[in-house]
Amino acid sequence: MIPESREPAPASRCPVPLLPPAARERLVAETIDRYQRYVNPGLARLFKFGGSETVEWAALDCLVWDAHGREYVDCACGPAIFNVGHRHPRVLAAVRDQLDRMPMSVRTMPSAALAELAERLAAFTPGDLCYTFVCNSGAEAVEGALKLARLVTGRVGFVAMQEAFHGKTLGALSATGREYYRAPFAPLVPGFTHVPFGDAGAVDDAIGPDTAAVILEPIQGEAGVIVPPPGYLREVRGICDRRGVLLIADEIQSGLGRTGRRFGVDHEDVVPDILTVAKALGGGVIPIGAFIARPALWGPFGRQPYIHSSTFGGNPLACRAAIATLEVLEGERLPERAAAMGERFLGRLHDLRRRYPAVIRDVRGRGLLLGVEFVHSDYALMVAAEAGHRGVITFYTLNKPEVIRIAPPLTITPDLIDRAAAGIDRAVAEADRVLASVRAAAAERA
Ligand SMILES: Cc1ncc(COP(=O)(O)O)c(C=O)c1O
């Protein structure tokens, strides 16, 4: 991604020193070459397609700088991991303090950090969600939730949603709803039935005697940012209660203030039986995931505390980052801020859609989890690349590549929203111009 001005910015506001120009060029060339030879040649190709003749260098709050000192507004967030902004001072301080004392657990003694995080999560999550298992990533949190549901119910089946994204480990992938990622690894874990998201009747129909749980994202992220119809979550909760199956809410992307409430389920005052969280929980500083369950479900874990475990899960460094993150989310009222800033950003996107009706099919979302759906994935890819050239980072959604996601830090300001929206606007204009001329040339040849 190269912003329009290709000059190294002498007045770069990058908060850390840049390398001298020759060293920068060398770093960029070496990094691309190492991707090509040691990471993944396909990824190297993708970066080149996106115009990435640079590497990431520094970040602060809503801004990112590349090695040349060029500045970007981060509207992708990793995706969705920098809810409190990049390098929030409170999170950094908590991590530094723990780093200087004891970053990892010996595990033969209780960890004060883990215990405090579990208590805070019980208070921060809805209803009587209470017991927490801390792990290291989103997929791991989903794996744990699925295992707990099987253990508690003695049943093996799950109802999941089409186009859902729950991660790419085998169990999480079995819940994920896009064949593109599933088919190469078949057979997956048996017992998963996928139904259309937003259709409560389909959930009811799919539940059978072997169903342990229904798993859903309250607002789907990678499916292209899909907000379900009003009342859907409550209806599914009712169905689960009536049919005696558990409800797992995967809040890994929609949680922690992203959609304008603490959690996606809060929009309908629904309390799931198990809730998964990850991504933004570590404040964008340390990876961490967790699943939290109602007390009545924790019996089997209580009887066999090592039936499910993880060497690094619950390490003090990550727990301190998470505690600080929860404090920032509450202290700075970031869910409320996401709701207000989201309305402003969505307004800009609606305006864009009105001006490009032949290119943009839909704009939607809630809080600061927004999506722009293009008429073809080529537009989404090109707009993301062109927005990068104009200093705005966006990313398409994994299960719906026609959609780019707009998910900036919840700390974003009105000025930065206007700047990002202007960059996206110019990117859409450029993609429209280029793809129209490609189509015209193809038509001429035909
Ligand atoms: C809703 C949801 N669940 C699970 C995951 C998987 O998380 P991770 O990539 O940390 O394994 C993601 C990642 O995008 C997600 O959006």
What does the pLDDT average to over 68-93?
97
C-alpha 141 – ligand 1 centre gap (Å): 9
CA–CA dist 29, 84 (Å, integer): 32
Strand pairing class (192-195; 63-66): unpaired
Residue whose pair of structure tokens reads 């119809």 in the numeric block: 229
Phi, psi of 361 (to 5 degrees): -85, -35
Q: Do 321 and 229 belong to one domain?
A: yes
- Domain holding 56, by residue range, is 21-86+334-445
**What pLDDT, in 10s, does the model give residues 48-78?**
877 778 999 999 999 999 999 999 999 999 9
Q: Pick the catalytic residue from 47, 82, 133, 165.
A: 165
| Residue 303 domain flag | yes
Single out the catalytic residue among 66, 192, 199, 279.
279
Tell me the CA–centroid distance for residue 166 and ligand 1, in Å: 5
- Cβ atoms 379, 229 nearer than 8 A: no
| Binding pocket residue ranges, ligand 1, CB within 6 Å | 137-139, 142, 165-167, 217, 221-222, 250, 252-253, 278
The pLDDT score that the predictor gives to residue 5 is 47
Q: What share of the chain is helix, strand, coil (3-state, %, to 5)?
A: 45, 15, 35
pLDDT value, residue 10: 56
Number of domains in the chain: 2
Q: For residue 34, how far is its CA from the centre of ligand 1 (angstroms)? A: 27
Looking at the structure, tell me whether residues 216 and 156 fall in a common domain.
Answer: yes
Digit-coded pLDDT (tens) for 351-389: 999 999 999 999 999 999 999 999 999 999 999 999 999
Pocket test for ligand 1, best of 143, 165, 254 (most atoms within 8 A of CB): 165
Pocket test of ligand 1: the residue of 161, 169, 253 to mutate, having most ligand atoms within 8 Å of its CB, is 253
What's the pLDDT at 396?
Answer: 92
Residues 318 and 401 in one domain: no
Quick count: other Cβ atoms within 10 Å of Cβ 43? 11
Distance in Å, CA 138 to ligand 1 centroid: 5
**Probe target for ligand 1 pocket from 166, 174, 225, 405, with the most ligand atoms within 8 Å of CB:** 166
Percentage of residues in the chain with pLDDT exceeding 90? 92
Residue 358 shares a structural domain with residue 309: no
Please give the DSSP secondary-structure letter assigned to residue 39: I
Q: Is 138 exposed, middle or buried (0-12, 13-18, 19+ CB in 10 A)?
A: buried
Token pair in block for residue 234:
């409550």
What is the band of 83 on the pLDDT scale with cuts at 50, 70, 90? very high
Distance (Å) from CA 167 to ligand 1 centroid: 5
Residue 12 maps to a domain: no
- Rounded distance from Cα 277 to ligand 1 centre (Å): 9
137-155 average pLDDT score:
98
The residue from 331, 362, 387 where one domain ends is: 331
Q: How far is CA 355 from CA 181, 348, 358, 406, in A?
A: 35, 11, 9, 19
Question: Of ligand 1's atoms, which has the minimum distance to the CA of residue 137?
Answer: 10
In ligand 1, the atom with minimum distance to the C-alpha of 276 is 3
Average pLDDT over residues 31-53: 89
Same domain, 105 and 204: yes
Q: Is this model's pTM higher than 0.85 or not? A: yes
> How high is the pLDDT of residue 318?
98
| pLDDT for res 8 | 46
Q: Are residues 137 and 284 in the same domain?
A: yes
pLDDT tens-digit map of 173-216:
999 999 999 999 999 999 999 999 999 999 999 999 999 999 99
Q: Are residues 409 and 299 in the same domain?
A: no
Between residues 14 and 4, which one has the greater pLDDT?
14
Q: How far is CA 321 from the centre of its chain?
A: 18
* Res. 6 pLDDT band, cuts 50 70 90: very low
Across 330-358, average pLDDT: 97
Q: For residues 222 and 197, what is the distance between their CA atoms, to the nearest angstrom?
A: 13
Residue closest via CA to ligand 1's atom 3 equals: 166
Same domain, 60 and 99: no
Q: Are residues 36 and 110 in the same domain?
A: no
CATH number of the structural domain spanning residue 50: 3.90.1150.10
Could you tell me if residue 378 is inside a domain? yes
Which contiguous run of DSSP H or E holds residue 203?
helix 200-206
- On the question of pLDDT at 3 being above 60, the answer is no
Q: Determine whether 48 is an active site residue.
A: no
- Report which ligand 1 atom has the smallest distance to the Cα of 251: 1
In the annotation, is 168 catalytic?
no
Rounded CA separation 210/195 (Å)? 16
Q: β-strands 274-277, 246-250: how paired?
A: parallel
- What digits encode the pLDDT tens for the residues 256-296? 999 999 999 999 999 999 999 999 999 999 999 999 999 99
Note the pLDDT of residue 446. Answer: 79
For residue 16, being part of any structural domain is answered with no
> Residue 312 to residues 46, 55, 287, 288, 309: CA-CA distances in angstroms?
32, 29, 10, 9, 9
| Residue of 204, 250, 266, 273 marked catalytic | 250
Residue 439 lies in a domain: yes
| Residue 7 confidence (pLDDT) above 50 | no
**Is 400 among the catalytic positions?**
no
| Residue 14 covered by a domain | no
Domain CATH code at residue 93: 3.40.640.10
pLDDT at 252: 98
Distance 171 CA to ligand 1 centre (A): 13
Please tell me whether residues 277 and 154 are part of one structural domain: yes
**Could you write out the DSSP letters of every residue in 364-409?**
EEETTEEEEEESSHHHHHHHHHHHHHTTEE-EEETTEEEEEEE---
Q: Which helix (H) or strand (E) holds 410?
A: none
